[in-house]
Structure 1
Amino acid sequence: MTTRTVSTTPEPDSARFSSVTFTHLARLTDDTGLFEHARHAVARREHGYCTDDAARGLVVISREVGPSAEALRLAERYLTFLTHAQDATGAFHNRLGFDRVWSDEPGLGDWWGRALWGLGTAAARCPAPWIRQEAHHAFVQGASRRSASPRAMAFAALGAAEVLRAEPGAEPAASLLSAAATVIGHPGSDPHWPWPEERLTYANAALAEAVTAAGDLLGDPPVLAAGLRMLTWLLDVQTSDGHLSVLPATGWRRGNPRLRYDQQPIEVAALADACATAAAVTGAPAWHAGVHRCITWFLGDNDIGRPMWDASTGGGYDGLTPTGPNLNQGAESTLALIATFQRRASLRAVSPAG
């Protein structure tokens, strides 16, 4: 059994976040896009780029208040990558080699959903008008499509929610958000498994966030209640002795034993986003406490008591294993770190308990 040793409980004060920048993100980015993988802090060119990461990169930079000129240049590259990946029907390629050749056909998988998440966030939030305009155009083109995958639709719904918050009544976004809530479904009546699927896999909280956002922005109280019920349970089952213990990469099937490792930063970031959305909708302190747990998971308040980021590089570690962090600092983990730390603003209004 792994011994968890944390000398002090990390607190998300401003000093702990002062060194969190886009430095490592810039290190992983060239004039084409964002490299997917790294060996420690060094990009691995042989694995190329993916739409998933460019989309997440566009999300975090668009969220930033007063981004630097360098950050906006990164946003420009990620937006250019996404518009190059999109075909005339609104579908997207996902994987581009270092030779700048796509290795797949355009489709409507998770990458389509994440692309719309990035485009919708940029259209709603980016301070550069030309980026907002181009992102909105590409979002509308992609929002005309529908996927059968609940996660793809959930990611797309997060982009649609951003557009609706900035432009209430925007029909393409409202239609997509409504469709996503339908595809995701509602939780069942079993209090021990209030989830619309028989198995939890990855980025689970994004589904709860999408349903919560749909209920809030479309004025549907039963849907809002369903999303909050899903998220309440998900936060509860991923909390252990007051700290976050997220589901491992292998997931968890109903009725089966739950494993502990390897834990992925993407789960923490998805939960932080969902709790921040629930906090904004309800104002309930429990959701601020959830964001707090997500932040401190990266700072070391986790199952093994080890920080999950490298303060010297600004990179996020790729996974939490029984023996310590996986010290590789790839794009997904670094983006999860940045996205989670960006949520510290939601802690200022309410001091979390527990």
Structure 2
Amino acid sequence: MTIDDRLETRPSDRELLHLSSGRTPEPSFAHLVRMSDDCGMFEHARGPLPKRWHGYCVDDVARALIVVCREPDPSPDLVRLAEIYLAFLLHAQDRERGFHNRMGYDRVWHDEPQTGEWWGRGVWALGTAASRGPTPWMRAVALERFGDGAKLRSTIPHAMAFAALGAAEVADSDPENHSARGLLADAVPVIGRARTDPAWPWPQPRLEYADAALPEALIAAGQYLGDDAVLRDGLNLLDWLLFTATRDGHLSPTPAGGWGPGQPRPGYHQQPIEPAAYADACARAFLVTGDRRWLQGVRMSVDWFLGDNDSRIPMIDDATGGCYDGLGEDWRNPNQGAESTLALISTLQLARWLDRIPAADLEG
């Protein structure tokens, strides 16, 4: 990290308004529009400007389709973007091998289809579009292609967790969908069950990134398959993960590069994908159990973006609608790539949902 890649070490007076007043902004799609064209969504940015030469990836286009489909009343411009993102995923999908991931600005694929983590995100996006797509024809096409993607399997825990979240979307609309139920069931052994060691119940020896998606997938599998043991495992793992990531009442998530037993906390460079994954997982845990304590996990995730984090630095750029790419001990990465901004949007969507929950449900 050079000095040119850093911003000021303290937030501006305007940014401190978020932290001092508790004001949560509405989700902004301005930077999503800036980062998109008629092909897909660019992966990287220099500041808020797209780095076109880095091209596109299925990981980010899938995330973009998910956040647009989560909007309850998307504008015509957002519906058009959803069409673009869905078309990109259809082009990336190989029914026998999985998904391509990386496309250059020349619109040529630079890899072969596989069932890596991008396959999982692609299936997640197709499942979300099948359940919540803004038009009937999008829902129909997405459901068909979800079925194709759900026939495949991966040995990668994160890939299966992401795919299972897409299956949960389909199961929510059609609980008897065979493809969704099969994918949810097969995700459980790949993700792994909780270990008996209370100091380290996590199925893997280290935390990696977006790990909250793994217990969220177990919670979803337990819910839709009627398996109470799997549901309990998911809830217990999420509870341990959230406890591990809480420091002085705020979220202190796993840094880039991961974290293992005995390593110091907090760790930096923290990335926005982490609080976004916690927000999703805690929201699901609340909806499945009705336990209000999970709402605090959603709130901490939202507040991480507003500046209630280890560095007391807000991560939102009010001028662009984008999110900074990473949080250091006394700095933030000024670049506003796709992953970070989409993590912000998805978390603010949950903040909007959280604000609509009756105050009585937030007490206790």
SS of the counterpart of 1:253? coil
CA distance in 2, matches of 1:57, 1:209: 20
Q: 1:70 to 1:90 in 2, by over 3 A?
A: farther
Other-structure match for 1:25: 32
Runs of 4+ in 1 over 6 A off after TM superposition: 3-8
Q: 1:7 to 1:23 in 2, by over 3 A?
A: closer
**Bigger shift: 83-92 or 65-74?**
83-92
Equivalent in 241, 248, 252 of residue 245 of structure 1: 252
Other-structure match for 1:129: 136
CA distance in 2, matches of 1:42, 1:124: 33
Deviations 1:158-193 (A, max 9, x none): 000000001111000000011111211111111111
**One-letter code aligned to 1:50:** C
Long gaps (5+) in structure 1: none
Deviations 1:83-137 (A, max 9, x none): 0001131510000000011110000000000000000001001131111111111
| Alpha carbons 2:193, 2:203 under 8 Å: kept | yes
Deviations 1:246-287 (A, max 9, x none): 110011123444451000000110110000000100111111
**One-letter code aligned to 1:81:** F
CA distance in 2, matches of 1:266, 1:272: 10
CA distance in 2, matches of 1:191, 1:346: 31
Cα deviation, residue 12, structure 1 = 5.6
Equivalent in 345, 351, 356 of residue 348 of structure 1: 356
Equivalent in 260, 271, 287 of residue 278 of structure 2: 271
**One-letter code aligned to 2:317:** D
Structural mapping, 1:1-354, within 5 Å: 9=19, 13=23, 16-18=24-26, 20-89=27-96, 91-258=98-265, 260-344=267-351, 345-349=353-357, 351=359, 352=362
| Alpha carbons 1:202, 1:249 under 8 Å: kept | yes
| Alpha carbons 1:25, 1:334 under 8 Å: kept | yes
**Bigger shift: 20-29 or 44-53?**
20-29
**One-letter code aligned to 1:196:** P
| Alpha carbons 1:117, 1:156 under 8 Å: kept | yes
CA distance in 1, matches of 2:63, 2:122: 8
CA distance in 1, matches of 2:288, 2:82: 28
Deviations 1:48-96 (A, max 9, x none): 0000001000110001101111111111111000000011315100000
CA distance in 1, matches of 2:78, 2:97: 27
**One-letter code aligned to 2:168:** A
CA distance in 1, matches of 2:354, 2:117: 27
**One-letter code aligned to 1:310:** D
CA distance in 2, matches of 1:205, 1:166: 23
**One-letter code aligned to 1:49:** Y
CA distance in 1, matches of 2:238, 2:140: 33
| Alpha carbons 1:285, 1:350 under 8 Å: kept | no
**One-letter code aligned to 2:229:** P
Q: 1:310 to 1:178 in 2, by over 3 A?
A: same
CA distance in 2, matches of 1:81, 1:11: 41
CA distance in 1, matches of 2:116, 2:187: 14
Long gaps (5+) in structure 2: 1-8
Identity %: 55
Q: TM-score, normalised by structure 2?
A: 0.92
**One-letter code aligned to 2:218:** V
Cα deviation, residue 194, structure 1 = 1.6
CA distance in 2, matches of 1:173, 1:71: 27
CA distance in 2, matches of 1:244, 1:4: 19
Deviations 1:17-76 (A, max 9, x none): 23x321100100011110000011000011000000010001100011011111111111
**One-letter code aligned to 2:242:** L
CA distance in 1, matches of 2:18, 2:142: 44
| Number of aligned residue pairs | 349
SS of the counterpart of 2:94? coil
